[in-house]
Amino acid sequence: MKPRWRKEDAADQQKDELHKLLASLKDTGEVEKLLRELLTPAECEDLARRWHLVRLLIQGASQRKVSKEVGIGVATVTRGARELRNDDCMFKEMYTRLYSK
């Protein structure tokens, strides 16, 4: 019997392809161009705000201060703070790569 097609399988394949696509980008110019073509301006701004909130949390700002400064709900800030508590958090790794030079 042929396995039944599942939406979840297709979604997983699409995410895997997206991950490979992002990993293949060569420089910030390619990243910028792809994001501009893939996302709306509002979605790009949202991603930038989320990274900004992560930076502020890593630098020690309180969740309320971050929420106010970035203009994002406390629940979104709390999610970022929760991710930062994970030992293998990619946010911390990326922050170190960008700012330890």
Which tens digits make up the pLDDT trace of 62-100?
999 999 999 999 999 999 999 999 999 999 999 999 998
Higher pLDDT, 86 or 4: 86
Query: For the whole model, what pTM was predicted?
Result: 0.81
Farthest-apart Cα atoms in the chain, separation: 57
Q: How confident is the model at residue 20 (pLDDT cuts 50, 70, 90)?
A: very high
